[in-house]
Amino acid sequence: MIQSLRRLLLAAVLGLGLSAQAQNTNHLIFLCFGQSNMEGFPGIEAQDQGPVDERFQVLAAVPFPKLDRTKGMWYPAVPPLCRPSAGLSPADYFGRTLVAHLPAPTRVGVVSVAVAGCKIELFDKANYSTYASNAAPWMKGIIATYGGSPYQHLVDMAKLAQKDGVIKGILLHQGESNTNDKEWPNKVKAIYENLLKDLDLKATEVPLLAGELVNADQKGACAGMNNIIAELPQAIPTAHVISSAGCASRQDHLHFAPAGYRELGKRYGEEMLALLGYKVAESK
């Protein structure tokens, strides 16, 4: 009788272990970082506020009091995803595109940490403090919401997310503040490699997807930086550049319009689906 009870208990424990492992495997997590276009420019249209597939969730990287979101908890990915004051971003339609094509019970989770106007140097774990100390007061306020180090905050939130799933990719949208910086690809490489090391990830299993800035066809104020962004795969073999051609811009020619964010996010999603082995029709 005792032996039988032991076998039943062991089977139950093993069963729980297998179940947890399967749940983790089916929860795909993506880290998102950058500057204002990754934050999402304030202003969310009605069509983006409706119900979102509950398989697409966001880990609140900061508290969202008005949305009743607690830092470190998962919620349906209704924008804003980055911070309470942010708006629609590429991460929104990236996740929506993924869950629209991935079979149930696969879930998609995003973790977003971004700072408007920042140079890529703010995510340099070794030297960020020098840059941050000289930042404008409004930027220091954003940095403070991340405990003083956006990079470390991203790592801390990512480790929390890893308890529930597996990190399958990193999304970047940044460059406006580094326009004409030919060292940008190498600076991004250092950050990417630090993230892999600090989170115990393999480059071959966690690609980097970097979006172009507002394109020249939209009279992008920093469109010339796209030539430098195009060089990123030379520095990082597992990097992929997402085209912004045709993605609608706001009048400032720095930020995307909501339609532009939707299309750009969809393209991030289509690229990730292809890397995961799913074939979908590509956006033109």
Candidates 19, 27, 36, 173; catalytic one: 36
153 catalytic? Reply is no
Q: Is 76:100 a contact under the CB 8 Å cutoff?
A: no
Joined tokens for residue 163? 């308890």
Q: Which contacts qualify for 199-204: CB closer than 8 Å, 24 or more apart?
A: 199/155, 199/158, 199/159, 199/162, 199/167, 201/167, 203/236, 203/237, 203/238, 204/238
164 catalytic? Reply is no
Candidates 112, 243, 255, 283; catalytic one: 255
101 catalytic? Reply is no
Per 3-state DSSP, what percentage of the chain is helix, strand, and coil (rounded to 5)?
Answer: 45, 15, 40
Candidates 164, 198, 252, 253; catalytic one: 252
**CA 206 from centroid of its chain's CA atoms:** 12
Catalytic (active-site) positions: 36, 252, 255
